[in-house]
Amino acid sequence: MSKPLHIIILAAGEGTRMKSTRPKMLQTVGGRPMLSHLLDTAVSLEPEQVHVVAGSGLEAVMAACSSYPVNWVHQGERLGTGHAVIQAMPDVPDEAAVLVLLGDTPLIPAGLLSSMLEQYCSPLSLLTMELEDPTGYGRILRDPGGNIIGVIEHRDAGAEQHKIREVNTGIIMADAENLRGWLQRIGCDNANGEYYLPDIFSMARAENGEIHGVMAPDAADLQGANDRKQLAALERRYQHHMASGLMASGVQLVDPERVEVRGNVEAGTDVLIDINVVLEGKIGLGDGVVIGPGAVLKDCELAAGTRVHAYSVLEGVTTHGACDIGPFARLRPGTVLSAGCKVGNFVETKNAQFGEGSKASHLSYLGDSVIGSTVNIGAGTITCNYDGANKHRTVIEDDAFIGSDTQLVAPVTVGRGATIGAGTTVTRDVPADSLTVSRARQSTIEGWKRPQKEKVK
């Protein structure tokens, strides 16, 4: 296509049926606002400019999509689709071609729009689809030769026209100069007093004799969301697409219907993902990674051979080499594990670095810590890293052995090869190759009797 492309996205819908305080365009699919999916697609078409027409909640929508190169247009009054396009036209040059998209159809494939661009016939083209139940949609009217002659709304259609299954999607492409002229002539003489974009079809037909139509091969690609039920259906379609992509790349999904992808996942060979796993943000899974049932991962980079056992929650975690995590572990941002590490059940880490072969197998909290190689952390060990105002660091050097129920009061350093006895509270640096114990001598009081509750008479 020789003309510069301008894309107008109509995103002013309030979504009252969502029953939400958030604008409709910020309702999420795959963990992201609906509008962001469509913006990804629009930007991939390499237009000269993308214009987004939004209404109430414009500032919130702009903030949520601030990373996109967009010309934001405010539609103060919502007076129909034609009125919405009119708001964006002052920023569109006459020599451009204009593609109008709907903000609540976030999953339309880029390939379908590319096909529409390739087939574009000046001055007007529209995207159509066939539905088993077209109730509520405007029907496409064609002459005996198959040429589109107009669109009739459902409420205005007769009995025979109601049988037509080809409908208007609301997505059009037009020469900017012609579109501007048609928009200036549409009226609002209808029950709602609104300016409807499809009203330009009859003008285009009268002036040019032909309206070009492109039919979508799969109507589900144009599925929209006006309420929570439809939003859930969009989510299912998106997740089906993401699961199919993972399996096509070689990932084994135990049950594709029970994996949720809310970001971008890159996976090596022989990766296995069990049921009810949630993957958020940017995820990298090396060869042979296994993710157990119920695990939640966000912004993680897991090296080849790493195993995440059931019901573990990882955020901002990096492994360098094969590691063993969980079950029921919580690894928070800044956790870095070297090869051969084990972080076991009910262990929480935060901003903690582990050297090769180090283990914390049970019931520990390790925060703001640098842990050397082949360190053993006993059950119940905690780093007391927060003094109520500031965080402090704990350093445990190579080959140290930390006994169960140890409290390490930071800032503190445990020397190489040191052993700390169970039940010790460490408040000063521990020298290397030594045994450190701080607990009271055990004693027994003979004849002691446990207090008893008084019996009620």
| Per-residue model confidence as pLDDT tens digits over 5-28 | 999 999 998 788 899 989 999 999
- pLDDT tens digit sequence for 276-293: 999 999 999 999 999 999
Rounded-to-integer distance, Cα 86 and Cα 285, Å: 47
Q: What does the pLDDT average to over 125-150? A: 89
**What is the model's pLDDT at position 1?**
65
pLDDT of 241 strictly over 70? yes
C-beta of residue 277 within 8 angstroms of C-beta of residue 259: yes
Q: Report pLDDT digits (tens) over 331-359.
A: 999 999 999 999 999 999 999 999 999 99
**Is the model's pLDDT at 206 over the cut of 90?**
no
Mean pLDDT of the chain: 94
Domains identified in the chain and CATH numbers = 5-222 (3.90.550.10), 242-436 (2.160.10.10)
Catalytically annotated residues: 362
Q: What percent of the chain has pLDDT over 70?
A: 100
pLDDT (0 to 100) of residue 26: 94
How large is the average pLDDT for residues 402-431? 97
Amino acid identity of residue 453, one-letter, is K
pLDDT > 90 in the chain, percent: 79
Q: Answer for the pair 86, 179: CB distance below 8 angstroms, yes or no.
A: no
* Range name among 9-18, 80-89, 237-246, 289-298 with the lowest pLDDT average: 9-18
Round to whole Å and give the CA distance between 281 and 122. 41
* Residue 353 CB partners (closer than 8 Å, separation 6+): 335, 336, 369, 370, 371
C-alpha span between 217 and 394 (Å, rounded): 60
Q: Residue 395: pLDDT above 90?
A: yes
Kindly provide the b/e burial profile for residues 171-198, where b requires at least 16 CB atoms within 10 angstroms of the residue's own CB: bbbbbbebbbebbeebeeeeeeebbbbb
| φ, ψ at 222 (rounded to 5°) | -110, 20
Q: Which of 408, 411, 352 is nearest to 380 (CA)?
A: 408
Average pLDDT (384-406) is 96
**All residues at 6 or more sequence positions from 246 whose CB lies less than 8 Å from its CB, including other chains:** 253, 259, 261, 265, 267, 273
Q: For residues 1 and 5, what is the distance between their CA atoms, to the nearest angstrom?
A: 9
Mean pLDDT value across residues 317-321: 98
Mean pLDDT, to the nearest integer, of 165-185? 95
Residue 122 has pLDDT above 90, yes or no: no
Q: How far apart are CA 41 and CA 343, in angstroms?
A: 40
Q: 181-185, 273-277, 316-320: lowest mean pLDDT where?
A: 181-185
